[in-house]
Amino acid sequence: MVRARRNDDLPSALHLTEPSACQALVDLAVREYGRIDVLFNNAAMAYFNWLEDITNEEWNAICGKK
pLDDT digits (tens, 9 = 90+) for 6-64: 667 777 778 777 899 989 989 998 998 898 888 776 655 666 788 889 888 888 887 77
pLDDT top residue among 65 and 34? 34
Q: What is the pLDDT of residue 54?
A: 86
What is residue 33's three-state secondary structure?
helix
Residue 64 contacts by C-beta under 8 Å, 6 or more apart in sequence? 44, 45
